Amino acid sequence: MPFLGQDWRSPGWSWIKTEDGWKRCESWNQELESENDQQHQISHSIILNSDDEEIFNNEEHEYASKKRKKDHFRNDTNTQCFYREKWIYVHKESTRERHGYCTLGEAFNRLDFSSAIQDIRRFNYVVKLLQLIAKSQLTSLSGVAQKNYFNILDKIVQKVLDDHQNPRLIKDLLQDLSSTLCILIRGMGKSVLVGNINIWICRLETILSWQQQLQNLEMTKQVNTGLTLSDLPLHMLNNILYRFSDGWDIVTLGQVTPTLSVLSEDRRLWKKLCQYHFAEKQFCRHLILSEKGHIEWKLMYFALQKYYPTKEQYGDTLQFCRHCSILFWKDSGHPCTAADPDSCFMPVSPQHFIDLFKF
């Protein structure tokens, strides 16, 4: 009798031979199941009527408790899946050696973003990556990847509320995420959101709550009797301003003291910032002149920012091995088989990370 079944690993069905041929024993199985149910009911009644009724109730209560814990773990958004290896093989098509393909959600689960946000060198990188996912790749995340995404986002928000650092970055991220979710939830029948609509509405409410907390965030003035930023000489303060690659950071630092306010308006500072981020052809097309005919470099920077992307600068990024096709953090490494591994490594920008998983 050949094996018949929906799954080659299953034991198959039960068959009997009749005069008309082989037939499946469905009625026999149903009768057997009904008899077993009756036997279970009888045995349960015997137990309940005996002196061991308390033992049965305890076992039943323990089973129900385990089931509740299992369901809670599955539905809890604060739980996160961890993997021993902190790298992932990136393959987009099936080969003889490997079947299937790697998704963005799988990469998001495998790479250790949860601990990466605790590293000041990687914090901006992870936030930018979450922002790009919120803008365009939210619908491609699996259920587990969604849990990890919002779990990491929760840790980032709590970190900002505790240490009062980088609130502007998180506000921009939450704004983009809430805007995307509003559009997707309104067109739920047309979009492909993985999960129940009520879960996404709860997540949107959580995001709005985070935005309110960040809006009410007050910077506490630190009392320091030692050397402060105001005590530094002018050339050192000016050198600090020239180290910034983000115009908003310069504006924010200029609000600290009157001296920094004057230094932050330096035309040469904003000219150098424009030349760093944009090509000469780009800012020649959008010249902004003052009444005296001078170029307003500060206004030009924020105007050009609306038309062209600025250069990204991060302390540490993910690395991609061109020899092994593996994505990894540099300090955790990966099992490379190249003779000269360092020559195969290339840094991966947040946009490049997204592009690796587009099919």
Residue 258 to residues 138, 236, 339, Cα–Cα distance (Å): 44, 16, 57
- The CA-based angle 163-168-172, given to 5 degrees, is 130
The residue among 82, 218, 215, 209 whose CA lies nearest residue 154 is: 209
pLDDT one-digit tens code per residue, 206-220: 999 999 999 888 877
Q: What's the order of all strands across the beta sheet hosting 87-89?
A: 87-89, 326-329, 318-321, 345-348
pLDDT at 95: 62
Whether this prediction's pTM lies above 0.85 is answered by no
Give dist(CA 216, CA 210) in Å, integer: 10
Q: Mean pLDDT over all residues of the chain? A: 77
Alpha helices in the chain (DSSP H): 26-49, 53-75, 104-110, 113-116, 123-132, 143-163, 167-186, 197-215, 234-242, 247-254, 258-263, 267-277, 280-285, 297-307, 350-355
pLDDT one-digit tens code per residue, 119-172: 888 899 999 999 999 988 888 888 888 888 999 999 999 999 988 888 888 999
pLDDT at 242: 92
73-77, 171-175, 314-318, range with greatest mean pLDDT = 171-175
User: What average pLDDT does range 256-284 have in this prediction?
Assistant: 89
Residue spans of the domains in the chain: they are 101-216, 246-307, 318-356
The residue among 122, 238, 104 whose CA lies nearest residue 169 is: 122
pLDDT at 288: 84
pLDDT at 209: 93
